[in-house]
Structure 1
Amino acid sequence: MTKSELIARLAELNPHLYQRDVERIVATIFDEITDALARGDRVELRGFGAFSVKQRDSRVGRNPRTGDAVPVGEKKVPYFKTGKQLRERLN
């Protein structure tokens, strides 16, 4: 499901809301999750899962074309762990 499909589905399920309002709501939710992760906070949505940021240490990688060693710097990556209810619903 893409973001535009999510907006269309929510607008369909909530006919009392304008599409532009649904777009603003979805954008605000995603922006808040992004801002919280940028601050290093953890975002937990009960029954769905938790978003957090993990630190990857620097390492030596390989250039796949030449096989030469290439230094890869440390970086932060987003991480999502599914909630128990979501896992149970999928299985």
Structure 2
Amino acid sequence: MNKKGLLIKMSEKSGLTQKDAELALKAFIESVEEALECGEKVQLIGFGTFETRQRAERQGRNPSTGEEITIPASVVPAFKVGKKLKEKVKEAHK
């Protein structure tokens, strides 16, 4: 499902217009981004948790030359699936 499909689903389920659903989705995304930028977690019980994780500096290889390179440490966004969502997906794929 792409963004347009998601907006259609959201408007059908909520009774919002697609324009209002788009505003709600945009506000949600911006709120999560701002929280992650500040180092905060966004926890939606049963759905999952958006958080940041530290990646340590590590060695890698340039795929075109085979030359060994150092990949610097970084902070990356991550999503940890909640128990309820995990169970729903597992049940749907039995």
Structure 2: which 5+ residue stretches go unaligned? none
**Residue in 1 aligned with 2:2?**
2
Query: Which consecutive aligned stretches of 4+ in structure 1 deviate over 3 angstroms post-superposition?
Result: none
Alpha-carbon distance in structure 2 between the residues aligned to 1:83 and 1:7: 23
Paired positions, count:
90
Residue type matched to 2:14 in 1? Answer: N
Q: Using the TM superposition, give the Cα deviation of residue 30 of structure 1 relative to its aligned residue in structure 2, in angstroms.
A: 0.7
Q: Deviations over 1:63-91 (max 9, x none)?
A: 11211111211111111111111111112
Q: Using the TM superposition, give the Cα deviation of residue 18 of structure 1 relative to its aligned residue in structure 2, in angstroms.
A: 2.5
**Residue in 1 aligned with 2:12?**
12
Alpha-carbon distance in structure 1 between the residues aligned to 2:12 and 2:85: 23
Residue type matched to 1:22 in 2? Answer: A
CA RMSD across the alignment: 1.2
**Residue in 2 aligned with 1:33?**
32
Alpha-carbon distance in structure 2 between the residues aligned to 1:24 and 1:36: 18
TM-score (norm 2): 0.87
Alpha-carbon distance in structure 1 between the residues aligned to 2:81 and 2:14: 27
Q: Using the TM superposition, give the Cα deviation of residue 54 of structure 1 relative to its aligned residue in structure 2, in angstroms.
A: 0.3
Q: Using the TM superposition, give the Cα deviation of residue 19 of structure 1 relative to its aligned residue in structure 2, in angstroms.
A: 2.0
Structure 1: which 5+ residue stretches go unaligned? none
Secondary structure (helix, strand or coil) at the match of 1:41 reads coil
Secondary structure (helix, strand or coil) at the match of 1:40 reads coil
Identity of aligned residues (%): 38
Secondary structure (helix, strand or coil) at the match of 1:79 reads strand
Q: Which shows bigger deviation, 67-76 or 5-14? A: 5-14
